[in-house]
Amino acid sequence: MRFAAIGLDHRHIYHMVGGLLEAGAICAGFDPRTSDARVLDGFRERFPDLLPVDGERLIDDPTIDLIVCAAIPSERAALAVKAMRAGKDVMVDKPGVTSFAQLAEVEAAVKETGRIFSVCFSERFTVPATLVAGKLIADGAIGRVVQTIGLGPHRLNRAIRPSWFFDTAYFGGILTDIASHQIDQFLHFTGSRDAEIVASGVGHFGVPDLPDFEDFGEILLRSSQAGGYIRVDWFTADGLPTWGDGRLTILGTEGTIELRKYVDIAGRPGTDHLFLVDGKGTRHIDASGEPLTYFRNLVADIAKRTESAVAQDHVFTVCRLALEAQAKAARLPAGNQDSRL
């Protein structure tokens, strides 16, 4: 399988390209156009053997099967539609779309062309602990799942962010963007095909010179199977040795699973810590060695026209629910901005 990278605007392009290369795919080139030269520099450093090629040539190349894209979020849908109409499957970084109109356009293009539109929900697809959790749930380790609590804190790293990062018109809002990860995980781990956004909210509590930037968001959602709560934010302190203490708690009728994906604070070293509580006691599982499956399954799906990596309906449902949560979100009051009071 041959693929090309177009849209080097977010650093997530690194693990998207790296994952495909590890899965045995061949990169036919990358479009060097970017809104952030630092991302391009990092890409060249990680993949020095890959060649720059104009994006139009890559889309027109009949030997390329897949376009991988981490462009400015508001530009991903149009590029995906163009690639699909040129006979290419597409994998984009989250959020796959930033508006209902874009979602409708992508859905129409998939129906029209029969191509794959996949969103790389990296907080599940590139985290070994989530795969181990899925196996435990499938084996009945915690009974029936009745609730998830997904936490997605991030470090702002303001100095390295391009200007579009702070403009909702470009990234779609904090719930459209970050919370798509937690919506994906809620649907997956509860076995839900769809859900209702019961309530949602967004707020700005941080840096005073960015009053319109959403740095906090939350969602309460419910399906016919289970309920869920999501919290996302940009308040990870510099003292944490990684970009965010991402956690997922899965409540079952016979036990619980908690994932501490990227760090066990003041505890065990490394990533992918899984804590299981069941009728026999408590235990910690080091899930870091679990092989990832998304990229190799996507490569197989492109050849066989299957949906083993992620179902197309699931991708569209996550996108729609994230947009609905953003659209109905209440603006949370900032209160007193002086942290000394």
CA distances from 224 to 191, 216, 270 (A): 10, 27, 36
- 217 forms beta bridges with 202, 232
Under 8 Å between Cβ of 225 and 235: no
* CA-only gyration radius of the chain, Å: 20
Give the domains, in start order, of the chain with CATH numbers: 2-120 (3.40.50.720), 124-292 (3.30.360.10)
Alpha helices in the chain (DSSP H): 13-22, 37-46, 55-60, 73-85, 100-113, 122-125, 128-138, 168-171, 174-177, 179-190, 294-304, 312-327
- Angle in degrees, CA 237, 292, 89, rounded to 5: 100
| pLDDT in 10s for each residue of the chain, 341 residues | 999 999 999 999 999 999 999 999 999 999 999 999 999 999 999 999 999 999 999 999 999 999 999 999 999 999 999 999 999 999 999 999 999 999 999 999 999 999 999 999 999 999 999 999 999 999 999 999 999 999 999 999 999 999 999 999 999 999 999 999 999 999 999 999 999 999 999 999 998 999 999 999 999 999 999 999 999 999 999 999 999 999 999 999 999 999 999 999 988 999 999 999 999 999 999 999 999 999 999 999 999 999 999 999 999 999 999 999 999 999 998 865 554 43
- 278 forms beta bridges with 281
